[in-house]
Amino acid sequence: MTTVITYGTFDLFHIGHLNVLERLRAMGDRLIVAVSTDEFNSGKGKSSCFSFEERVRIVSALRCVDLVIPESNWEQKVHDVKAHEVDIFGMGDDWAGKFDFLKPHCRVVYLPRTPAVSSTSIKLDIFEAHSEKQAQVQREQGVRSLA
Ligand code: C2G
């Protein structure tokens, strides 16, 4: 049995996340996903909209995911690869080269990142849409007050 593992925050779950998980699952028989805890995320300088528990539930519900574990530090990967007898470690290629230290323990792959989508861009789109809506309401209120 070929076991694959990957790591991530998976906040505001989107098609880029699904693509990399389904592609990694297709490389083996079992996919383990380590989801970053809220505490670890703050160490990454990331704050997620959804809590660790919510992100774990969403990832766990996916047909292509067989096991979800917490990612609580940068150092756990070698232990995880050994403990779960992992054959393949995979990430999107925005991480290319960053985890080559795992090569003595398992195959390391970096898959093409899905273009034009990220949790950050989704947040920005929502913020900009909200700001425009607020500006429109203020313009309308300004017009009404002149009437
Ligand atoms: N991803 C992708 N395409 C996107 C966005 C993300 O392929 N458009 C991939 C990333 O390359 C990563 C995974 O989806 O492999 C999860 O991305 P994030 O949730 O942003 O994870 P990140 O914050 O990069 O944390 O120890 C590794 C870290 O935990 C990775």
Q: Is 44 a catalytic residue?
A: yes
Question: Tell me, what's the pLDDT at 147?
Answer: 75
Q: Which residue in the list 44, 82, 103, 133 is annotated as catalytic?
A: 44
One digit per residue, the tens of pLDDT, for the chain of length 147 reads 999 999 999 999 999 999 999 999 999 999 999 999 999 999 989 899 999 999 999 999 999 999 999 999 999 999 999 999 999 999 999 999 999 999 999 999 999 999 999 999 999 999 999 999 999 999 999 988 887
Question: Which residue's C-alpha comes closest to atom 29 of ligand 1?
Answer: 8
Q: Whose CA is nearest to atom 26 of ligand 1?
A: 7
Q: What is the DSSP letter of 26?
A: T
- Whether CATH 3.40.50.620 fits 3-113: yes
Using CA atoms, how far residue 129 sits from 6, 12, 15, 122, 125, in Å, is 33, 17, 21, 11, 6
In this structure, the residue with its CA closest to atom 22 of ligand 1 is 8
Q: Cβ(113) to ligand 1 under 6 A?
A: yes
- 50 is written with which tokens? 């959804």
Q: Is 72 exposed, middle or buried (0-12, 13-18, 19+ CB in 10 A)?
A: middle
* Index of the ligand 1 atom closest to the CA of residue 10: 19
To test the ligand 1 pocket, which listed residue (72, 94, 110) has its Cβ within 8 A of the most ligand atoms? Answer: 94
